[in-house]
């Protein structure tokens, strides 16, 4: 292993150490690859490593430092990139055989901005196929394992992005979140994971799942890490008409302001949703007590329409997915079946061979919901439920600055434990309403489960474009709890 222990350094510390000449960006990249070599055979966080790109980026940072130039905010910080984000010089497979041989011909805006800020592209991270899943068991290239317990899942669909940070292989990573795919694996791996407001970060260059729901966001081992990464990737983009021109603040600057006077609301009715464990509920109450002790004004709020969130999402999300994935037909894009009898045979066999079971399930569900005679009964009703959820959040933020819920109803589960789709879908019951409403939210570690020793995540939800307030609250909670994010198992594996 390299003498540089990335698991012991925040992104901020890596950047500052490089700026001070304590080690070089090239040495930081070498440390990342050494840790990957030691650990990723067990964890399988990466689908592709990109040392040529990473070392070229590192050399640019080292050259700039030698010349006395001011270094950017993430100079020399090793980063993982979810494999649904395009980057020239890499394959972008989306965890699917359908795109097994697809090579990116352009850059995802968020990835390019991360690299422009000096981050080192270490590799492309494993994921549930086309981001359809909550465990990274649906990857066509094998599952990712949770660094806290290799017999358990890391969450999904951004499981590889979460695991590489939890294992100290990279300092930060990017994931995408359509219904919880950043926050849920963040909670299950003990990392800090942020879903920005819809439109805060450009979606250009990320392979679309649900276009009205998708958002790119960062993972890190600290709130400071994700604040730095968020600032780097945020802002308007002429290539994405849904990106917002709302000004981007300096998110890292306000993290030490504390929460005195901040209005914090516990979403009490969400704690009673199906499947929420007693220890998970208790962790939210303990978090509320922590905020109160820090000087926040704590109260309770109800979001009654959110109980329809899961049902609405599994109409809207698959409907948008069925439309977005129609292009992968063996003719325009994607896997092409050999020796087809005719065009129809080519189309049918290419999709049957290229897509996995969960992807096929969601395409069929979405196509059915949009079909003639069913559109109003399903898709139309789901959109009405979405409107009610938006109105509930709007009313809640008239009273409170941030809201507290669990991130997940349980800690990381064992591989194969969720044998039917419904029990798997329930893992996103707390995160989905935030995507339907377009709000920002962050998952921060709030302790360990007494029975399993696995991390528990607290979800803090903010109003639209209230990332600065959200991060301020998360930073205060993080400092008060003092959670150690390094999995003991990973340390033993890497020693």
The one catalytic residue among 10, 96, 158, 181 = 181
The one catalytic residue among 7, 10, 73, 82 = 82
Residues 6+ apart with CB under 8 A from 472: 254, 255, 257, 258, 259, 262
Q: For 294-356, where are the alpha helices, taking DSSP H only?
A: 309-324, 343-354
Give me the torsion for CA of 410, 416, 417, 422, rounded to 10°: 80
Query: CA 119 → CA 47, 122, 382, distances in Å?
Result: 19, 9, 40
Q: Peptide bond preceding 274: is omega within 30 degrees of 0, i.e. cis? A: no
Our answer to whether residue 124 is catalytic in this structure is no
Q: Give the integer Cα–Cα distance in Å for 46 and 40.
A: 7
Contact (CB, 8 A) for 457 and 406: yes
Query: CA 442 → CA 2, 226, 403, distances in Å?
Result: 32, 10, 11
Q: Give the integer Cα–Cα distance in Å for 313 and 295.
A: 36
Q: Which helix (H) or strand (E) holds 177?
A: strand 172-177
What does R_g of the chain's alpha carbons equal in angstroms? 21
The two most distant CA atoms of the chain are separated, in Å, by 71
How far out from the chain centre does Cα 358 lie?
Answer: 19
3-state secondary structure 180-230: CCCHHHHHHHCCEEEECCCCCECCCCECCCCCCCCEEEEEECCHHHHHHHH
What tokens appear for 98 in the block? 């359908």
Q: Write the DSSP symbol of residue 456.
A: E
The one catalytic residue among 134, 135, 139, 157 = 157
Contact (CB, 8 A) for 71 and 65: yes
What tokens appear for 276 in the block? 């929420």
Contact (CB, 8 A) for 477 and 291: yes
What tokens appear for 91 in the block? 């394959």
Contact (CB, 8 A) for 228 and 222: no
What tokens appear for 105 in the block? 């011909």
Q: Give the integer Cα–Cα distance in Å for 345 and 333.
A: 16
Q: Give the integer Cα–Cα distance in Å for 121 and 321.
A: 28
How far out from the chain centre does Cα 335 lie?
Answer: 27
Q: Give the integer Cα–Cα distance in Å for 450 and 438.
A: 34
Our answer to whether residue 452 is catalytic in this structure is no
Our answer to whether residue 202 is catalytic in this structure is no
φ and ψ of 202, to 5 deg? -60, 140
Q: Look at strands 192-195 and 46-49 and give their pairing.
A: unpaired
What residues are labeled active site?
82, 157, 181
């Amino acid at each position: 292993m390299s003498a540089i222990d990335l698991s012991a350094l925040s992104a901020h510390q890596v950047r500052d150490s490089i700026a001070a000449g304590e080690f070089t960006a090239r040495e930081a990249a070498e440390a990342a690859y050494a840790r990957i070599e030691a650990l990723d055979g067990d964890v399988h966080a990466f689908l592709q490593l990109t040392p040529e790109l990473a070392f070229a980026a590192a050399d640019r940072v080292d050259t700039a430092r030698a010349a006395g130039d001011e270094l950017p905010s993430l100079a020399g910080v090793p980063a993982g990139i979810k494999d649904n984000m395009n980057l020239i010089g890499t394959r972008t497979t989306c965890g699917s055989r359908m795109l097994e041989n697809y090579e990116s011909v352009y850059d995802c805006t968020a990835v390019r901005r991360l690299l422009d800020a000096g981050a080192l592209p270490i590799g492309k991270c494993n994921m549930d196929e086309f981001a359809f899943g909550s465990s990274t068991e649906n990857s066509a290239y094998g599952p990712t394992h949770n660094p806290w317990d290799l017999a358990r899942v890391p969450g999904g669909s951004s499981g590889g992005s979460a695991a590489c940070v939890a294992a100290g292989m990279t300092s930060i990573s990017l994931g995408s979140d359509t219904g919880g795919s950043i926050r849920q694996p963040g909670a299950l791996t003990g990392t800090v994971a942020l879903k920005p407001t819809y439109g805060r970060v450009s979606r250009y260059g990320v392979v679309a799942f649900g276009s009205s729901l998708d958002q790119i966001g960062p993972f890190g081992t600290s709130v400071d890490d994700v604040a730095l990464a968020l600032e780097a990737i945020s802002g308007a983009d002429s290539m994405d008409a849904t990106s917002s021109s709302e000004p981007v603040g300096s998110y890292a600057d306000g993290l030490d302001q504390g929460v005195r006077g901040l209005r914090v609301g516990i979403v009490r009715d969400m704690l009673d949703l199906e499947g929420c464990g007693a220890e998970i509920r208790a962790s939210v109450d303990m978090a509320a007590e922590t905020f109160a002790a820090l000087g926040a004004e704590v109260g309770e709020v109800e979001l009654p329409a959110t109980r329809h969130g899961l049902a609405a999402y599994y109409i809207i999300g698959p409907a948008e997915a069925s439309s977005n994935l129609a292009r992968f037909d063996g003719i325009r894009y994607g896997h092409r079946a050999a020796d087809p009898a005719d065009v129809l045979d080519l189309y049918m066999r290419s999709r049957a061979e290229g897509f996995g079971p969960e992807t096929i399930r969601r395409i069929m569900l979405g196509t059915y919901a949009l079909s003639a005679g069913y559109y109003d009964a399903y898709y139309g009703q789901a959109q009405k439920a979405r409107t009610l959820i938006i109105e509930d959040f709007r009313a809640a933020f008239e009273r409170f600055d941030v809201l507290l819920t669990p991130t997940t109803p349980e800690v990381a589960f064992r591989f194969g434990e969720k044998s039917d789709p419904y029990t798997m879908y329930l893992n996103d019951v707390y995160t989905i309403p935030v995507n339907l409403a377009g709000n920002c939210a962050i998952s921060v570690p709030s302790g360990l489960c007494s029975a399993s020793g696995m991390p528990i995540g607290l979800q803090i939800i903010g109003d639209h474009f209230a990332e600065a307030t959200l991060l301020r609250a998360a930073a205060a909670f993080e400092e008060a709890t003092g959670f150690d994010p390094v999995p003991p198992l990973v340390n033993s594996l890497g020693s």
